[in-house]
Structure formats: structure tokens, C-alpha cells
A and B are shown apart, each in its own frame.
Chain A
Amino acid sequence: MEFKDYYKILGVDRDASKDDVKRAYRRLARKYHPDVSKESDAEARFKEMKEAYEVLKDPEKRSAYDQFGANWKAGQDFQPPPNWRREYSFGGGAESFGDAGQFSDFFESLFGGGRGGGFSFRTGGGRMKGEDVNATISIPIEDAYRGASRTITLEVPEADASGVVARRRKTLNVKIPAGITAGKRIRLEQQGGPGFGGAPAGDLYLAVDFEPHRFYRADGRDIHLELPVTPWEAALGRKVKVPTPGGAVDLQIPAGSSSGKTLRLKGRGLPGKPPGDQYVALKVVVPPATDEKMRGLYESLEREHHVNPRAKLGV
């Protein structure tokens, strides 16, 4: 297994005081906590920090860890010394954060498995509900409209007969219900980590996000779209085709519309009770005067219709 340089992970010197360690952890935790951070690797980085802090904040664990000295480099192949377990006994591994299987093999080989440590809020003694697992999936808006299935692969901690915890890949087919909105979570009961002592497995929480779309933007169940129209469609009022996640529909543009005018297609957003609406913001697109005929048409408009669109600006 790979050696982990806990000092490097927290960015502190080997002679850092307990307060330095705490300060460094807190500063990094605020930045990388998965509930706070938008960084894609936040979850993995945060786990490392938590593990490093777990060791360096505890004088006993730290002095045991310090025996390996500064010569070890992160990533080097590592095996604990043969007499390690006899000299040191760390009951329960992770004391304050006992979500089973949270820590690396390196940590567990030195300080014991995460199981049974028991985060102080957790209920139960020998029986312990399995770890809840959080995962995120991105889906296109169209899938949120129609509903979809997704195959996801997760790593869940699993204990073998002798109680050794190892991570294991697990593949699930999950149904994404129609009408789900971005940021919502799907709860899959007992699809997380296995429980201990006959307790039920933890749950799987799947956070759903929408992939960026070429032209839709979702806000809850409402869909927003910018619709390009010609000056004459806007001025005269015409019926035009508009895409919606459920398929194209006809939209009557009121005569005398301008850029920025927003029209509502009731119930054309994501399905639900009530369904969302689709908001269509008009954007007048002016075709360039590429040929003589077009130029002539623009010029006759200019000649025959004097209008100052900047009157309100006082010029």
C-alpha cells in the first residue's frame, strides 16, 4: 500500500504544534468540504485531510506515525513493521468520525479499521447501520423530462468474514423519475455500505445535476429559452416554432414585440404537480444587408419611418 504523508496533506511542518495542525485542517476543510466546495475532487481531497487530521491531532497516533520519520515519501510502497500491532493498540480506529470504511488502507493498517469507532452522533453499539453513500450524476434536461435509467458504479466499503473492511465496486441501475429537478437527491434505501452486527445497510443518496444545455436553462421545473426572431416576425406578430423538452410547439408572437419580451408556455416545463412552465425570451436578430435588394429594403424603412429608439436616453 502507499505511504501517506499526513504533514504534506495538511501543509504543516513536522514540528507543527497541535494548534497549527488544527488551524491548517480547519482552513482546508472550509475550502474542500464536499458540502461547500465546487471543486470536482473535493470529496477525495477532503477524505485525505480528515484522515491526516485524525492522526496528527491525536498525540498517541501522531507519535506512532512519527516513528516512520521524514524519509518516507507519499506514494512509496509501505508495509507496517511486523511487531506493530503488539506495540500499539488503537481500539476502534477513527474515534470521532467512525463512518466505517472512510479511511485509506494505509490508515487502517496502522490504526485499525474504521468500524465500531462510532461517530458520537451515531446510534447503536455493536449493531451499526452501514455507511450512507453520496454520489452525483449529471443528466440532460430531456432525460429529466422523460425520465431515464442510469447505470452507476460506486465504491462501497464492505467487511469480509474476519471484519476487514475493503472497498468494493458495485454497479446499480437506477431509475431517474420524470420531473426531477437539478439539485434534488434520490434516496435509495439500503444501497449504501453494509451494516455491522446484523444492522441494515446504509442508504445511497444520488444528487442529480443537469448537464449544461445548448439552449435550455432550467430553474426548478421551469425552462428558460432565448428565441431568435426576425424584426418582421416581432413587428407583425407571427406564429413560430419553439422547441420544448416535450417537442416543438407553435408560439404566436404578439405584434409589436421587441427583444427581451418574455412569453410563457404554460405547463411546457418539466412535468410535476403542478408542471413547470417554459419561458421564451424573444431576441430580435437583424439579418445583415448582404445584397443590394436587402440594402434597398432597409433604406426604404429608414427613409419612410423616422424613429428614435434612444429618446429615453435623452439623445
Chain B
Amino acid sequence: MAQRTGSNLHGIVLDEQVMFTLREFSHACGIRTELIIEMVEEGVIEPAVTETEWQFHGDSLVRAQRALRLVRDLELNWPGAALALDLLDELDRLQRR
């Protein structure tokens, strides 16, 4: 029943070394680019490169996806989700000490 792949799968680590264009970013989140722009305008995420075409770090993808789930499941607005994520990150940081 279980399906098995023989060789090792190599993923990419979503950190500040990886970059996504706006299009790739919106595809990875499964949402329209307009909503990504809205998230940037509301301060949920920040593009890493703005001079040319917008580009986003890998960790912004993680943050955007978490924000989307919070907005969807807890019926928050963008600023509310951004605040929740900031506090959760801070909590994480303190707990790792």
C-alpha cells in the first residue's frame, strides 16, 4: 500500500539563502499575486529585493503561509496575523535560550 521512492529526495531549506520571485512566491502559496502585494502593504512580509522585480527570502514563504492559515482559520485580518506571528516568533526565541 505504501508508495516508496528509492532515492533520496533533496528539498530546499527555506532560509535567507533562497529567493523567490513574486510569481514563484504566489505559486508556492497557492494564491494570487494581488494577495501577496496586500500582505506586503499590510506589513505581514517584506520583499528582500525591491530595486528590480520583487524577490522574497525563503523564510518569508514560511511566514506568509502561516499568516494565510491564521487569517483563514482564526478569521483574523492581516495586521492581526502579523502581530500573532511576531509574538509567536518572540516566544520561540525565548524558549530556545
Is A169 an interface residue when CB atoms closer than 8 A count as contact?
yes
* Consensus secondary structure, chain A interface: mixed
Distance between Cα atoms of A253 and B27 in the complex (Å): 53
A26 to chain B, nearest CB (A): 7
Interface size bucket, B side?
35 or more
Which A residues between 161 and 195 are near B, CB-CB below 8 angstroms?
168-175, 177, 180-189, 191
Give the chain B neighbours of A169 by CB distance below 8 A. Answer: 1-3
Query: Considering residues A149, A187, A203, which has the most beta carbons from chain B within 10 angstroms of its beta carbon?
Result: A187
Binds B, one of A28-36, A70-78, A239-247, A290-298: A28-36
A203 with B28: in contact, given A35-B69, A36-B88, A121-B68 (CB under 8 Å)? yes
* Distance between Cα atoms of A121 and B81 in the complex (Å): 16
A35-B3 in contact given A123-B30, A187-B28 (Cβ < 8 Å): no
A173 pairs with B8, CB closer than 8 A = yes
CA separation between A218 and B96, bound complex, in Å? 8
| Contacts known (A153-B2, A182-B96, A219-B97); A206 close to B11, Cβ less than 8 A | yes
The CA of A235 and the CA of B15, in the complex, are separated in Å by: 43
Task: Establish whether residues B74 and A30, one from each chain, have CB atoms under 8 Å apart when the complex forms.
Answer: yes
Cβ contacts B81-97/A at 8 Å (1 or 0 each): 00010001000100011
Classify chain A: how many residues form its interface, as a range: 35 or more
User: Which residue, of A33, A181, A185, has the highest number of chain B Cβ atoms within 10 A?
Assistant: A185
- A1-26: CB near B (< 8 Å → 1, else 0) gives 00000000000000000000000001
Bound Cα distance from A149 to B65, whole angstroms: 26
Q: A121-B31, A132-B30, A169-B2 are in contact. Are A175 and B12 (CB under 8 A)?
A: no
Identify the B interface with A (CB < 8 A): 1-15, 17, 28, 30-32, 35, 58-59, 61-62, 65-66, 68-70, 72-75, 84, 88, 92, 96-97
* Interchain Cβ contacts under 8 Å between A and B, 11 examples: A26-B74, A29-B74, A50-B73, A97-B72, A97-B73, A121-B31, A149-B8, A171-B2, A186-B14, A203-B28, A205-B65
